Amino acid sequence: MGAEKGDWLYSMGLGEAQRTAGQEIKPTHNLISTASVGPVNRGRLLQALYDMGPSSRADLARFTGVSRGTIGGIVQPLLEQRILVEGEVVPPNQAGGKPATKLWFSKDAKPICAVLLMHDSVRTCLVSLDGEIYAQNSAAFSNELNDPVAAFKVISGCVERTITSVDLPILGIGLAIAGMINTETGSILAINLASFFNGFPIGAELRKTFDVPVCVDQDARALLVGDRWFGKGRGRKNFAVVYTGEVLGVALYLDGHLYRGAAGAGGEIGHTIVQLDGRACKCGRRGCWETIATLGWLRDEARERGLPQPSSMNSRRLIVLADQRVAGAAELLQEYVYNLSVGLANLQQLMAPNYIILHGDIAHGGDRMIELIEQNFRRLILNRPGDEVSLALGDTEDVAALRGAAGLVLSELLNFPL
């Protein structure tokens, strides 16, 4: 698995799209043209296609800096395997040349099964190679459930229902987990509120049951992979994804690589200390960012300040209450936004991702929320002349994580024979 992971990371770093205002595409990664690196070239070409959208062979040749002949050699087997199809016809140019067709992912290509595992439930779906989601299923764990084998039955049942709902074999299973994961072994280290899962080798169990490649990662990193393949991270060399809500998580894409830390240990930004001698955190320490920037904090504060329905408070509701001039709402909103911005600014200062995609509760708050955060965030970060730093809203729907789970498989498979 170790060597494979190396390739995996390598595959994530390829194909940065750089379009100028005039839509001119500069080659940023040249392909390697010896026959021995076929899978790498294929990975780079598919990534270029994701970055550019449906493209002709000539576009791909320009983008990757190789001849059309080389592109043709890579594309042909992908057409035969029905991973790609020829679509829209591009009219011949004025100089006269043959009409070209645009290549894109085939609707008949094998889909990926994506699984999102939370402490109390599981969601599954199929994701086509162009990111479309279908055959969704979900199941909740009963309150009495307290052993991983019984929970696995619920999970595998859900996967089974999803994959048998179509007549196609699947490419693999991508699993995003809201918890601490060992990405080398594909095992769960800990899931908050579902401790019976601790130590469970879920990747190996799924592989054994369904006999397909399985990729396991933590949910924030799955969101990042989804944004890299299908979302706002497409074509970027550096960016971060931050998830906020019940917990806080971060994933980093630095210099064209997904950065995980040893065996996936990175990303615990929720437990960076922002307040010396602050409130007690559930991790046992004090003053972690999670103690002042999660929904738990927001709801406790809403209760203490006498705001209506504190247990369902979130950024969207708080904005509505502040707009309605409900007493205390505007102050709480201001404080929540500031507390969130502190952690985001710390992240920017330390790693300089320069582009941070926000998912979870902030995304639910929409443009208003991001504007408020941005005002605070800009005041908290050092101003380096010439640097462009921005925050962006990620997809609010839960499917972002599912799409990301599928992206995990895609990334891994791009460097292996399909």
Shortest Cβ distance from residue 351 to Zn ion (Å)? 20
Structure-block tokens of residue 207 = 């592989």
257 sits near Zn ion (criterion: CB under 5 A) = no
CA proximity to 239, closest of 344, 354, 346: 354
Residue selected from 281, 322, 329, 358 as contacting Zn ion according to rule CB under 5 A: 281
Cβ at position 293, least distance to Zn ion in Å: 11
Cα–Cα dist 227/233, whole Å: 5
283 is a contact residue toward Zn ion (CB under 5 A) = yes
The distance of closest approach from Cβ of residue 195 to Zn ion in the complex, given in angstroms and rounded to an integer, is: 17
- In the chain, the amino acid numbered 328 is G
Nearest-approach distance from CB 346 to Zn ion, in angstroms: 14
Q: 162 vs 218, which CB is nearer to Zn ion?
A: 218
Residue 288 interacting with Zn ion (CB under 5 A): yes
Ramachandran bin of 267, using left for φ above 0, alpha for ψ from -120 to 50, beta for the remaining angles: left
Phi, psi at residue 88, to the nearest 5°?
-45, 135
Q: Is 247 in the site for Zn ion (CB under 5 A)?
A: no
Q: Which of these segments, 54-62, 110-118, 265-273, 301-309, binds Zn ion (CB under 5 A)?
A: 265-273
Report how far Cα 7 is from the mean position of its chain's Cα atoms.
19
Structure tokens at 148: 């991983």
CB of 361 to Zn ion, least distance (A): 18
The string of DSSP codes covering 297-351 is: HHHHHHHHTT-SSGGG--HHHHHHHHHTT-TTHHHHHHHHHHHHHHHHHHHHHHH
Q: Shortest distance, CB of residue 341 to Zn ion, whole angstroms?
A: 19
Size of the site for Zn ion (CB under 5 A): 5
Closest CA to 408 of 206, 246, 150, 160: 206
- Contact region with Zn ion (CB under 5 A), list: 164-172, 173-181, 266-274, 332-340: 266-274
Tell me the three state secondary structure of residue 160. helix
Q: Which residue from 209, 215, 204, 200 is spatially nearest to 113, judged by alpha carbons?
A: 215
Question: 271, 286, 316, 368: which one contacts Zn ion (CB under 5 A)?
Answer: 271
Decide if residue 399 touches Zn ion (CB under 5 A). no
Q: Which of these segments, 149-157, 282-290, 315-323, 347-355, binds Zn ion (CB under 5 A)?
A: 282-290
Residue closer to Zn ion (CB basis): 191 or 288: 288
Name residues contacting Zn ion, limited to 316-375 (CB under 5 A).
Answer: none
Least distance in angstroms from the C-beta of 34 to Zn ion: 50
Query: Taking the CB of residue 203, how many other CB atoms lie within 10 A of it?
Result: 24
> Which residues bind to Zn ion, rule: CB under 5 A?
271, 281, 283, 285, 288
